[in-house]
Structure 1
């Protein structure tokens, strides 16, 4: 797709959403709105309230900040936004109480800054495909499969990529025979990590040190997702790589590997450590690794991106063990994207600033065709 170079590209920034990661998405939107190249882009902020309504947002960045004691959210009383579903029609409209629909103008591209279910999982991607609207990030299948840790690990193992031992507990299994589900975890040993299968930002995750704690941890995870993944603890360093799609079918671009080190105050890299901690967590890039192993990690990140069929961007997470084994943990198709998140930081260390990264992702979306590809 091409746009008139004499005008600004109109970007619909979609944030919030129905998942438990709603506050993180709001904070991400604040970061992007503050850093986007305003000489090139005109931003239309669209918030998705927790009840699922799409409302016209405002440029009040302070209201969207994520701080201790303040979890931002999209207000549910704003003017409702409607998107067209006819091919070639890209004009948004706003519904105001007691007024006829107001034309908001057309958009060139959608930047969905949504995390978790009902956003990152292929749902909004499918809506954008139906609406014939270009959008940033992976398509429907890659977004859905990589959101589900069970299917994600299946994709990786089918491509010969190493993943750690795990067990999946479906809603049916838990309701039918919880004792059998609990017993299925025993071969993993302890400690284990109990996770919602389709959530991120460490929401609903518990580190379980003994069998007596397992049932409560599963019930907590099920508050966020009826499907649960239990992973054997892997002792090692947490290494992450950013991936960007390349143009013209070239191999993906890989950032320098970065490392997360939780030094104090947290059992693991949980929600508070990711978004609220001012100390006790160290992010470093490039990670201090043997050159040969750094190359292996970058190559594996590229393989994971290709195996999953990702587009646009992704962050690939690894464990690096003391005996120099490299184990693929997961891939995030819409990684944390605040200015302080790991994905922008590893690209900053690799020579691409946060504003440049935003522009690059929008340009990639504008160049990509819609539909089957």
Structure 2
């Protein structure tokens, strides 16, 4: 009864937040005020398709108040964004913004912890969440699609489709197809790969020129190159761009990606065999943001289920520490932009790279735990790895 009441209250809270975001969208539209930079870029990309303009050049449909940002997603995503052209930019932001709390609700239902209404409100205080909503980003929706496939639809004949669609919209979710393979879910991985291939083939058929442009130069544009060292990029390559000479970055990147991939595969298999599918998924998600060339702070939305996972296991101090890091202050208090990151002190580097450092430390702690258990010969089946209430 308590669970039912909690979920009902949570759903009402989500609907209230959606209504508030919708009201903001309508108000900003009526006042003709700027709202949703990234959602405006999505909408302009959809408009470029309808106008027969190139996707990966200047987007002529960008509002005057939007920076001249490029479209960086695969062409299939732009096909979906044509729906946004039916609405003014502010109302299109409202559609994407209202999808965000629904996505968070779905993810937290799959990572159960109590009390759910408090967790939903707490998620709003995390930078990856409020920044994604403010920009009109898709990060939370893509995370929900992955969680849906890996945890909710497991065993269904439709499992894998959501991950395939997420990967066709933004390439990074391709790593979760590998996650399905590592955990022995080959049929689900094949469905995901087939969905991704079908969506990409559709984009190639409709937009052949843009697809070739994306695969050759569109995914590696000047915007990414210029912003790689910015404090807002919390990936390993962002860390290197701020920290080491340019000549050191390529070999250190290859080395780190290889080590991270091997460690992730090892941990995922161990956790999955121990029955802790949620932890295994979080490990893969952590790898995805670390090895991606660009992981803006709003890409780190996986902190939401990570916090719920820690709270479910009563790791209160760890949860408090993680929540404190991800509120956004770490990137706000250090010098950023204009290359000022290159002049950071050691203390500023610790604070400014806090997202990346926290993820690396979490992986190191897990590896140490498993290696210690191997040396002490503790049977894996006896390890308390399953989250309370996970099933």
Category of TM-score, reference length = shorter chain: under 0.3
**Greater fraction of residues in helix:** 2
Write 1 or 2 for the structure with the bigger share of strand: 1
